[in-house]
Amino acid sequence: MPQGAKHHGRHRIRKSAAAGFALAVGATLLAGCSSDSGSTPTLTWYINPDDGGQAELAKRCTDASNGEYTIETSLLPNDAPSQREQLARRLAAGDTSMDIMSLDPPNVPEYAEPGYLAPIPDDVRERTTANVLEGALAGATWKDEVVAVPFWANTQILWYRKSVAEAAGLDMSQPVTWDQLMEAVASQDKYLSVQGARAESMTVWVNALIESGGGQIVENPDASADEIRLGIDSDAGKKAAEIVSKIGKDGLGGPGLPTQTENFSMIQFQGDKGAFMVNYPFVWPATNAAVEEGSLPASLIDDIGWALYPQVNEGEETAPPLGGINLGVGSKSKHPDLAYKAIECIVSPENQAYYFASNGNPPSNPDAYNDPEVVDTFPMAGTIRESLDLAKPRPQTPYYNEISTGIQQTWTPPQDVNPDTTPGTSQQFILEVLKGERLL
Amino acid sequence: MESSPIRRRITWTIISILVIVYALFPVASIFATSFKLPSDLTSGTFLPTTWSTVNYEQILVGDAQELFLSALRNSIGISLIATFIAVVLATLCAYAIARLDFPGKKLVLTTALGVSIFPVISIVTPLFNLWRNIGLYDTWLGLIIPYLSLTLPISIWTLAAFFRQIPWELEQAAQVDGATTWQAFRKAIVPLAAPGVFTTAIIAFFIAWNDFVYGISLTSTSAARPVPAALAFFTGASQFEAPTGAISAAAIIVTIPVVVLVLLFQRQIVSGLTQGAVKG
Amino acid sequence: MSTSVETRAAAGGSPKGRKPGLSDRARAERRLGFWLAGPAFIIMLAVTAYPILLALWDSLFKYRLTAPDDRQFVFLSNYATILTDEVFWRDLLVTVLITVVTVIIELILGFALAMVMNSALKAVRGWLRTAILVPYGIITVVSAFAWFYAFDINSGYVNHWFSWVPGISTDLNWFADFGTAITVIMASEIWKTTPFISLLLLAGLAQVPGELTEAAEVDGATWWQRFTRVIVPNMKAAIMVAVLFRALDAFRIFDNVYIMTKGAYGTETLSLLAYRTSITRLEIGMGSAVSVLLFLCVILICFIAIKLFKVDLTGARGGN
């Protein structure tokens, strides 16, 4: 039974936009809810946590369907590995309520390979992927087939404090390199805010560094576990390890680095020693909200600038991290056709634009970037769009979880990374885990 | 050790304060955190700079309402049912152990002991597989059954100890005085046994209320997810922002029943845990 | 209930009225005993014995939940992998370390608390009991969060309060290093479970005959002598049981580690390894093998305690 819930956009600039909606959200997701609703089938949408945007989209699309279906949302945990865990367990259990799922792109192959995802009807695929950013589409593809519908795409950009960049003499209108940034924070006695915790964010960072350096973590993502070839032990891997290691050893990331995730990078960046940060666009609304709340000075906003993710080798194009969410349909769903109809509604450019403006999650459809509200809320929308064009996904393999955890365990804490040995041990460790010869 | 009553009193006051600080400090700590504004969370102070109820609003009437309230409902419902079943079964079992002669008494007690030291994590995987196959995954029953493995052993032991101390002759005495068997049982035995059963229920409830491993492993939606597992689902305003405030507020709310039960029944709980060996 | 009571009354009440030749009454009593104790017994067995046997079976396979078609029988090779892997031994060592350290500290603290409660003035006794029952009753996860937030470099105040202590500064990141992280994990564990051990010890203290301590006091024994020569020997059984129960409990530590570090930086325990392997990685076969090994460790501890230290569990918990 759906329960009306007042939604309060807590401390957000889009408070007005988000407040007051009664969300049609399934508070009690009783098993079988989707089957016994009589004339109107209920679709369950497993959503990752956000600021209420997906629940609002569920409501909008339910209304737009004119009684054809009702979408109820069910919340997943707040970190990607736990989301994967919950979804994989339910999918493996043959759960029939998996109508729509918000999927983290790196996990898509693991669901697609054993056939847990319902095939996309050709017409839906054509319509929903006709105008989609390349990176986002890659994250929805497995073995050359589109298996999920891109919903939104995330990327990290370089955020900087104009005052610090100026003091360090960096010309931010030109691409900058990691080396330049490290030099700048060292000379200015500031921090370079990255994510060094033993968490998914570490893989995101390492992947971006290796990709930017021209390498690849997995060279043949389609291969089976014992045939996978890794590219961590390479020149690009070594260069990546040099960067991680230097930031850790020289204390450039601050004392919190070994446990630092996206949120605390942002807090560090907002503080006295903030200088440069690689992070997702959520930073912008969050910082604005804190300023409105009065806990940060208003001058901070004017001091913040943005640019593309730093380069690893000067002059070589950067490969920023790519994240986001794709929408998939469980193969055991009772209403796959309706689920895909609902997905088409959810990913419409207007809805993507709304979602970006209200929740800070960038669209996978380039057209949505021209939406006036988007440009108004995110002055850096152009940079984000550009970054998404360059962004490279994390390895698309069914063994992503093993590879990612293996990287997290061997590349943290950052100060213990050794450019000469870490890439080699990391690669060997992951290969042994994949062969089932080692514990993770 | 020869000291005046006043010095004795002062010593005891100091000792008591020390013990109370020890016992309550972490609770006070998370209590203070739960009233902090999001921007105040990193201030490095114990008390909030301004006391705010935003975190409570978030979980009770705001964004996290369905998440928290459904988890709270699951926690209360599942714990109460598991407690009730455990206490009923344990009462029957303990009665048999204390009063009847049958082979296998020792086996039952040993089994209870064995189950109580069983590593929960060892059976989570097979239970998960089993529940998947028979449809108990992510249901109330799917948690109630494993909770019984946590609550039954201690209930049986505690109640058996209680029942052994009951002067059962009273029952016969009442019967001699003309009461029927049922009346004798109800008037003479039930009043003596009830406190033990009640105490056992509280202890069993604490154990069920505390569970985390089963909660995170055998559920995946708000259909059965209990509060300790739901804490990992809280989020800040966006996926990347830390849910410190919401978790703290939720933590305080689930601690309230514990504190209330402890305040009301401290004597019974202590005697239950120590098998009635302590005199109040 | 009423029928069972009637039957019991008909059976003649006291167990002592039994005869060797199994009269009808004795047989009826037996049957009643089975009926009353049976359900609890069967449930306990079903919820533990069946799953552990299933785990034993699963542990012989290479079986990943998301690749059900690749399931294959590998006999003991999962065990070979685990037992030759340093991760397993490291986790075992961490688990043993946590067990030993927490149990020792809890025993000392618990003794102190038990003595305080035992000799406290009546007026404060209720307060003390109420206070120490709060950690006992609080949810472990809540306790873990409370300690985590207090020490965390971003949200904590501990660094600010104790920055005058050598080695602690506002830049100390407790959860980035094994030594400091494990300290906080153990502190949280100790805080939460000391009340339980102190209550078991309190029950033991009550069993020490008062005349003995008084006689020792008359003989001029110091407080320490009375404690070591009279009190401790007289409650040895209670101490042993308390230690064994806590040790087995500490050996299974999961919640605190999961919340505070998720096992990062060497703080992983065996329970967490089992959880990560089977629930997170969905490697059912390998995870089951870790679970079985964990189970064997617990059995081993129990066996050592009972055989070597002659702990009589049944007597002590039963209270008679």
Report the range of poorest mean pLDDT among A60-64, A179-183, B164-168, C89-93: B164-168
End-to-end CA distance of chain A: 42
Tokens 């569990």 correspond to C313
Of B228, B240, C48, which Cα lies nearest the Cα of A50? B240
Count of C-beta atoms within a 10 Å radius of residue B139: 18
Of C137, C115, C203, C202, which Cα lies nearest the Cα of B266? C137
pLDDT band at C314 (very low <50, low <70, confident <90, very high): low
Backbone angles phi, psi at C62, to 5 degrees: -90, 110
Max CA separation in chain B (angstroms): 74
Highest mean predicted confidence (pLDDT) among A137-146, A420-429, C191-200: A420-429
Distance of alpha carbon A244 from alpha carbon A196, whole angstroms: 8
Find the DSSP H helices in A275-377.
283-293, 299-303, 336-346, 349-359, 372-377
pLDDT score of A38: 54
Q: What type of residue sits at position B195?
A: P
Which chain C residues contact residue B251 at CB under 8 A? 139, 141-142, 145-146
* Residues of C (144-173) whose Cβ lies below 8 Å from B: 145-147, 149-150, 154-157, 159-161, 170
Mutate: best of C79, C155, C281, partner A, most A CBs <10 A: C281
Q: Are residues A75 and A171 in the same domain?
A: no
Q: In terms of pLDDT, which residue wins out, A252 or B40?
A: A252
Structural domain includes residue A242: yes
- CATH fold for domain C77-318: MetI-like fold (1.10.3720)
Distance of alpha carbon B117 from alpha carbon B113, whole angstroms: 7
Cβ within 8 Å, pair B223-A293: no
Q: Are residues A104 and A189 in the same domain?
A: no
Structural domain includes residue A300: yes
pLDDT of residue C18 exceeding 70, the answer is: no
Q: What type of residue sits at position A92?
A: A
Distance of alpha carbon A377 from alpha carbon A374, whole angstroms: 5
Q: Does B262 touch chain C (CB under 8 A)?
A: yes
Q: Are residues A410 and A366 in the same domain?
A: no
Domain limits, chain C: 2-58, 77-318
Look up residue A142 and give its DSSP letter. E
Count of C-beta atoms within a 10 Å radius of residue A1: 9
Report the range of poorest mean pLDDT among A356-360, B244-248, C293-297: A356-360
Distance of alpha carbon C51 from alpha carbon C288, whole angstroms: 10
pLDDT score of C311: 67
Structural domain includes residue A195: yes
Mean pLDDT of all residues in C289-302? 91
CA distance A136 to chain C (A): 24
The SS3 of residue A101 is strand
Q: In terms of pLDDT, which residue wins out, B12 or A433?
A: A433
pLDDT score of B212: 92
- The chain B residue lying nearest C57, using CA atoms, is B126
Tens of pLDDT, residue by residue over A71-80, are 998 888 878 8
Structure tokens at A288: 């604005």
Q: Does B178 touch chain C (CB under 8 A)?
A: no
Backbone angles phi, psi at A363, to 5 degrees: -70, 155
Q: Are residues A333 and A404 in the same domain?
A: no
Task: For domain B66-233, give the CATH superfamily.
Answer: MetI-like (1.10.3720.10)
Mean pLDDT of all residues in B71-87? 94
Mean pLDDT of all residues in B154-169? 82
pLDDT of residue A154 exceeding 60, the answer is: yes
Q: Does B199 touch chain C (CB under 8 A)?
A: no
pLDDT score of C21: 63
The SS3 of residue B86 is helix
User: Hey, what long-range contacts does C227-236 have (CB within 8 A, 24 or more apart)?
Assistant: C231/C205, C234/C207, C234/C208, C234/C209, C235/C201, C235/C204, C235/C205, C235/C207, C235/C208
Of C93, C77, C86, which Cα lies nearest the Cα of C270? C93
User: Can you give the CATH number for the domain in which A362 is found?
Assistant: 3.40.190.10
Burial class (CB in 10 A: 0-12, 13-18, 19+), A124: middle
pLDDT band at C143 (very low <50, low <70, confident <90, very high): very high
pLDDT of residue A14 exceeding 70, the answer is: no
- The answer to whether residues B152 and B115 touch, using CB atoms and an 8 Å cutoff, is yes
pLDDT of residue A158 exceeding 80, the answer is: yes
Tokens 């009340």 correspond to C195
Find the DSSP H helices in chain B.
5-34, 54-60, 65-99, 105-116, 120-134, 140-165, 169-176, 181-184, 190-210, 213-217, 227-230, 244-273
pLDDT of residue C20 exceeding 70, the answer is: no
Cβ within 8 Å, pair C67-A113: yes
Mean pLDDT of all residues in C93-100? 96
For a pLDDT cut of 70, what percent of chain A falls above it?
91
The SS3 of residue A326 is strand
pLDDT band at A188 (very low <50, low <70, confident <90, very high): very high
pLDDT band at A12 (very low <50, low <70, confident <90, very high): very low
CA distance A45 to chain B (A): 11
pLDDT score of A16: 34
Tens of pLDDT, residue by residue over A197-249, are 999 999 999 999 999 999 999 999 888 888 999 999 999 999 999 999 999 99
What is chain A's mean pLDDT, rounded? 86
pLDDT score of C234: 82
The SS3 of residue B36 is coil
- The answer to whether residues C118 and C235 touch, using CB atoms and an 8 Å cutoff, is no
pLDDT band at C312 (very low <50, low <70, confident <90, very high): low
Q: Are residues A213 and A342 in the same domain?
A: no
Which chain A residues contact residue C171 at CB under 8 A? 254-255
Tens of pLDDT, residue by residue over C57-72, are 999 999 888 887 888 8
Distance of alpha carbon B136 from alpha carbon B144, whole angstroms: 10
Q: Are residues A132 and A205 in the same domain?
A: no
Cβ within 8 Å, pair B238-A78: no
Which chain A residues contact residue B141 at CB under 8 A? none
Q: Half-sphere exposure of residue B248, counting CA atoms within 13 Å on the CB side?
A: 30
Chains touching C by CB (3 or more pairs below 8 Å)? A, B
CA angle B48, B51, B53 (to 5 degrees): 120
CA distance B249 to chain C (A): 10
Mean pLDDT of all residues in B219-239? 82
Supply the range of the domain harboring residue A262: 155-321+395-434
Q: How many domains, chain A?
A: 2
Cβ within 8 Å, pair B63-A52: yes
Which chain C residues contact residue A107 at CB under 8 A? none
pLDDT score of A50: 83
- The answer to whether residues A134 and A389 touch, using CB atoms and an 8 Å cutoff, is yes
Mean pLDDT of all residues in A171-186? 94
CA angle C39, C45, C46 (to 5 degrees): 85
Cross-strand bridge partners of residue A304: A161
Q: Are residues A129 and A163 in the same domain?
A: no
Which chain B residues contact residue A26 at CB under 8 A? 66, 222
Rounded to two decimals, the ipTM of the complex is 0.89
pLDDT score of A182: 95
pLDDT of residue A102 exceeding 60, the answer is: yes
Distance of alpha carbon B25 from alpha carbon A32, whole angstroms: 45
Structural domain includes residue A341: yes
Burial class (CB in 10 A: 0-12, 13-18, 19+), B257: middle
DSSP for B89-140? HHHHHHHHHHH---TTHHHHHHHHHHHHTS-HHHHHHHHHHHHHHHT-TTSH
Q: Does B27 touch chain C (CB under 8 A)?
A: yes
Relative to beta strand A42-47, strand A70-75 is parallel
Structural domain includes residue A440: no
Mean pLDDT of all residues in B182-194? 79
Backbone angles phi, psi at A72, to 5 degrees: -115, 145
pLDDT band at B191 (very low <50, low <70, confident <90, very high): confident
CA angle A30, A31, A32 (to 5 degrees): 110
CA angle C134, C136, C139 (to 5 degrees): 85
Tens of pLDDT, residue by residue over B31-60, are 999 998 877 888 888 898 889 888 898 888
Mutate: best of C62, C63, C66, partner A, most A CBs <10 A: C66
Distance of alpha carbon B227 from alpha carbon B251, whole angstroms: 9
Where b means 16+ CB within 10 Å and e means fewer, A125-138 reads beebbeebbebbbb
Q: Are residues A135 and A175 in the same domain?
A: no
Mean pLDDT of all residues in A44-67? 90
Distance of alpha carbon B173 from alpha carbon B179, whole angstroms: 9
Q: Does C126 touch chain B (CB under 8 A)?
A: yes
Chains touching A by CB (3 or more pairs below 8 Å)? B, C
Peptide bond into A106 cis (omega under 30): no
Cβ within 8 Å, pair A88-C264: no
pLDDT of residue A37 exceeding 80, the answer is: no
What is chain B's mean pLDDT, rounded? 84
Report the range of poorest mean pLDDT among A87-101, A208-222, A301-315: A87-101
Q: What type of residue sits at position C311?
A: V
